[in-house]
Structure 1
Amino acid sequence: MSVRSVLRVPVRLLDDLGDQAAFYGKSIAWTPKAIKSYKTEQVRLVAEVGMSTGALAVIGGSSIITFFITMFAGVTGGVQTFDALSNLNLEALGGFASAIIGPRLLTPIIGGAALAATVGSGFTAQLGAMRVSEEIDALEVMGVRSLPYLVTTRLVAGMITIIPIFAMAMVGGWIGWQLTQVDFFGLSAGTYDHYMTTFLQWQDVLYSFAQAIGIAVVVILIHTYYGYTASGGPAGVGLAVGKAVRSSLIAVLAVNLAIAMALYGDSDAFRISG
């Protein structure tokens, strides 16, 4: 490999980041146009994102899938925290761990990963198939701006449906956590509920939804970008889906860290009381 080809790597990376930034900015800027002009498409996408299509709609779509994913994540969290607390003879604080870890860390990250694996990958495949079959070019020829019609409408639909999807995710995480510690390990239900209700603050729930919305925006933008710019036929669409999933999973952790630091980073102490 020559020195010139090595030096071109960061240049290509910067070009790609610039293209993505421009795409994201235009997609967000077209939001008023998408809401005003494409109401029918918007309603269809909200139904598709919330309930999915075909066989997935029978079982409840993305909401139910996310619920079960976070429930099993809650089961894992309950097992790990109970084992760690039992080493300190603090098993009674299982409800405290659920109230703190669930909304602040577990549910936003697992819910974001589930969103990328279900809704996000579907967006990439849909837009990629339209791109390689020249349907997007056909829209432009007919005078329809493809970016607000195909991308911004999906972004708005994701913002609308992320609230019920994330609510199901949060409930699933709490149920899995409680089932493990109370029904499997035998922790007193009253003790668990006491520490759970004592340390679960309504601010944490609101902050958790803020984390979910931020993660959803980033995930949908990443997946729509890779689908919108796909090339190389069906194989290229598959590669685009893979790139989008990998990028979005990294972005989920980065965005969750950034938002969590912004929301909780000014706290200089953590007191267990009450």
Structure 2
Amino acid sequence: MINSQIISNRQNENLLLKIQYASRRYFNSAEKVNYVSWLLCIVSAIMIFVPDSASKFISLGIPALLEALAFITAYVFNNKLKNAASLRNYFDSYVLMIGEDSYTDISKQKLREIALTAYNKHKKEADIHIHNTGRDKPPGVRNWYEFKNTVADLQAQFECQKQNIWWNKKMVKNRMIILPIILFILVSFFVAMFVLFKSDALSIIVCAIGIILKVIERIIEHYSYHKISIKIEAIQNHAERELTDETVKELQELINERREIPVLEINIIHKLKAKQYSSSYEETT
């Protein structure tokens, strides 16, 4: 048996608030590391403009070092994203009571350790986020799911899923519009520059391999994100007409899977828009 009051109580348990804070911390940290990784790849690609008369250490050594650092930051990014998504998925499984039994005692202990480590490391900041709601400044993690009316059973779980989907669509839409444009400009610019300024195949490969792989990687990830988003929307529409245990479970699995795809929200937009979006959702439902 589950209802909106039980969800409200469970989501605000002390440990669960720390888990939510840690998840947010990891997502935000992953976003920053991702920017660093992109910057390293772009700087490496710019090295294509180094004159052919320059020493091999400058024309090849520095780009190779930058590419290696970009590879390391990409690895760090993936680890942070994995932790962030795992914590958020566990939060939902516990609070919504969907798939909670799929977690072993060992896996739950590991997630709690990750959360508590992040909390203890940033306790002052964490306490602010744990105390604040999404309507405060800075936006916090208390009252993650909000209910205008009392709902029970599948309707309570589904309402939380709808909030997840709505927020995700709001937060990611700007990135989904801007990123393809940026990628197109980057690819066009560097292809033109390579043709005009370099004939040395080795230099092109060393300088550009990082950004080429990153562009391809992002295209694949955004395609995967878009594909799973279509599935989520289809199941949500079906659930509006016929809500079953199977539908709720399938929808949650897709929501969890989408969180693990490296298409992140932009934290600065969340800080600026959280209060507005919180009120907006309430007004439109």
Name the one with the larger helix percent: 1
- Tell me the TM-score normalised to structure 2 length: 0.28
TM-score (norm 1): 0.29
